[in-house]
Amino acid sequence: MLRREEVARARAFLGAVPTAEALAVSIASVALCGCASADPPRPSTDVVIAGPPAAPPREVEAGPTPPDDDGTVAPITWADDPEGARERARLQGQPLLVFVKADWSTASVQMEKKVLLDPAVARAARPFIAIRIDATNDDPATIQKLGTFGVEGVPAIVMELPTTGRREIIASYVEAEELARALNTFLSK
């Protein structure tokens, strides 16, 4: 739906009442320009609520992310077995970090390529056992995994203490600084 200002601008540009064809072109250009942003969608700041690369999923031993020999922070090590990692976190008294993504979600892909590789996020994620759930195919097993963590959409970040059941969910795209802050805040509560 065009706003009045956009219709007025179109009329002023065309010098008269726009034809249906001119109006259709205007609508299409507004729609395309509005979707052409290179940046992923920004969430509102109050979205926190109680809550693979393209290669095939594989089991990876999850745990703290130690610094590399050169002092840089290694990327987060992800486990693809939610129940096993959750049990390990419960037994070891560690918090759980769950990233839910789907290949068809632009925001998920951006978080995976940009946010989750950020050194500040990797540093903040060190104490967590990290799990990645790929929800690209919404088969019953995947839907059950999502329900286990209280997730209804992608992307989502879940921070959970399996020993107490305390959980926070970030249910949208967040920048690295905001995610690192959320991870640190979760641990300090």
pLDDT over 90 percentage in the chain = 44
For residue 99, pLDDT beyond 60: yes
User: Residue 55: its pLDDT value, please?
Assistant: 36
Element (H, E) at 167: strand 166-170
pLDDT digits (tens, 9 = 90+) for 112-156: 999 999 999 999 999 999 999 999 988 888 888 888 889 989 999
In a domain, 41, yes or no: no
Separation of alpha carbons 155 and 105, rounded Å? 7
Alpha helix segments (H runs only) across 15-135? 20-35, 82-92, 106-110, 119-124
Q: Are residues 31 and 53 in the same domain?
A: no
**Which residues on adjacent β-strands are paired with residue 73?**
67
pTM of the shown model: 0.62
User: Residue 107: its pLDDT value, please?
Assistant: 96
User: Residue 158: its pLDDT value, please?
Assistant: 96
- Residue 174's pLDDT band, with cuts at 50, 70 and 90, is very high
Average pLDDT for residues 83-89, to the nearest whole number? 90
Q: Are residues 122 and 57 in the same domain?
A: yes
Q: Are residues 79 and 172 in the same domain?
A: yes
For residue 60, pLDDT beyond 80: no
Q: Are residues 180 and 109 in the same domain?
A: yes
- Domains identified in the chain, total number: 2
Element (H, E) at 145: helix 140-148
List own/partner pairs for 22-28 with CB under 8 A and 24 or more apart.
26/2, 27/2
**Tokens linked to 91:** 């037994």
Average pLDDT of the chain? 74
pLDDT digits (tens, 9 = 90+) for 27-47: 444 444 444 444 444 443 333
Q: Are residues 68 and 130 in the same domain?
A: yes
For residue 56, pLDDT beyond 70: no
- Residue 74's pLDDT band, with cuts at 50, 70 and 90, is confident
In a domain, 142, yes or no: yes
In a domain, 117, yes or no: yes
Residue 1, SS3? coil
More confident residue, 25 or 147: 147
In the numeric block, the tokens 């590399």 are attached to 68
Q: How far apart are the first and last CA of the chain?
A: 45
